[in-house]
Amino acid sequence: MLQVPSEDLPAVPSLIDRSCETLKIMHRWGYSPTVDALAKSLLGGGVPVDDLVRALESQSQFQVRDGFVSLRGYEQLLQRSSERVGSHRVLNGDAWSVAAMFAADLASLCPFVNCVAACGSLAAGGYAKTDDLDFDLFVQSGTKYLTYLLATLIGLRYSWRYGKHRLSRMHEIWGLPKLICINVVWPTSEVQPFRRRDADVAFELLRCEPIFGATYFDQICRANKWLASYFPQLNTTHRPDTVRPSRSLTSSALQRLARHPLMLGMIEAFSNGVVWSLYHFVQWTRRHDLKSVQRMEFLRKVKWPYEILQD
């Protein structure tokens, strides 16, 4: 069983140990990085690629092939990761365009969104044509489910628009591609500070690429000083906004609604019920798909307590 790391893990100061621990996290997510990507994403901070290569070559627990690296016992991930990086080079331009359009649509309709960040395979550099587009959202407190519901409705529009786009079975609903996937919705109250303070949460943030609200994302990283003990890269990377959406009539109406906390609370409670129903219905439709069930169990564990409806 996958164990979620605790926040009191012992320090891993050596380059070999840092490489091992970083690869363990990446392998849990099902991929092996390039040597260059590992050098940039190491626990404890990035290092020059040449230094990492020398360290990897000195130890038998690492397997390096065609520029990719894994721990021994995970060699099967090397070929798969190589194929995904190859497909990413071809497909990521179009995928990022769609991601930017979604972020702009959501931010223009929902005034409660502080940040829309791409994550998953697109942000990690391993996007394949059968993948969906994953996002983490940062929102104002008390608007988690309303924002999630709006994001889901916008996502349905993209499912119709790209109805001929074939995804893997776990990313389809009623024969349509579930192109947009919201992984986590973080209200302000849950990120100042984060309830969990461990390497997996820090790695989730490291893999985020803010499209809207980059300044807010940077502020959250700086406010959670514990993140620097895992990935100091989070505080040294410059992240410009990709989109600057204009506010819509819907956004203006929701802003006026927010002036009445009781009414906003009622709509948030209603949205919670709708989200609960949709969420469990989708899981019910996938109950016979073993890969989907296993993937969902994995996500519930690594994202606990932030996975939707775990609060």
Reported as a single tens digit per residue, the pLDDT across 286-301 is 888 888 888 888 888 8
Paired tokens of 276: 């609960």
Q: How confident is the model at residue 9 (pLDDT cuts 50, 70, 90)?
A: very low
- Report if residue 84 sits inside a domain: no
Sign of CA dihedral 44, 45, 46, 47: negative
The answer to whether residues 261 and 123 belong to one domain is yes
Residues 81-115 have pLDDT tens digits of 999 999 999 888 899 999 999 999 999 999 999 99
* Average pLDDT over the chain, rounded to an integer: 90
Q: What is the mean pLDDT of residues 150-158?
A: 95
The answer to whether residues 115 and 246 belong to one domain is yes
The answer to whether residues 54 and 138 belong to one domain is no
- Provide the residue range defining the domain that includes 38: 15-74
Q: What is the mean pLDDT of residues 47-70?
A: 95
The answer to whether residues 69 and 197 belong to one domain is no
The answer to whether residues 112 and 258 belong to one domain is yes
**233 contacts 206 by C-beta, under 8 angstroms:** yes
Q: What is the mean pLDDT of residues 29-50?
A: 96
DSSP tag of 198:
S
The answer to whether residues 248 and 131 belong to one domain is yes
Q: How confident is the model at residue 285 (pLDDT cuts 50, 70, 90)?
A: confident
Q: What's the structural domain count of the chain?
A: 2
The answer to whether residues 116 and 36 belong to one domain is no
- Report if residue 204 sits inside a domain: yes
The answer to whether residues 259 and 131 belong to one domain is yes
Residues 202-234 have pLDDT tens digits of 999 999 999 999 999 999 999 999 999 999 999
- Report if residue 227 sits inside a domain: yes
Q: How much is the pLDDT for 121?
A: 94
Q: How much is the pLDDT for 13?
A: 66
Q: Which amino acid is at 103?
A: A
The answer to whether residues 56 and 126 belong to one domain is no
- Report if residue 236 sits inside a domain: yes
Would the pLDDT of 281 be above 90?
no
| pLDDT, greater one: 133 or 247 | 133
DSSP bridge pairs for 182 = 135
Pairing of strands 113-119, 209-212: antiparallel
- Report if residue 42 sits inside a domain: yes
0.85 exceeded by pTM:
yes
Q: How confident is the model at residue 1 (pLDDT cuts 50, 70, 90)?
A: very low
- Report if residue 310 sits inside a domain: no
DSSP 3-state assignment of 181?
Answer: strand
The answer to whether residues 68 and 107 belong to one domain is no
The answer to whether residues 62 and 125 belong to one domain is no
- Report if residue 86 sits inside a domain: no
Would the pLDDT of 6 be above 60?
no
- Report if residue 1 sits inside a domain: no
Cα 116–125–99 angle (5° rounding)? 30
The answer to whether residues 105 and 233 belong to one domain is yes
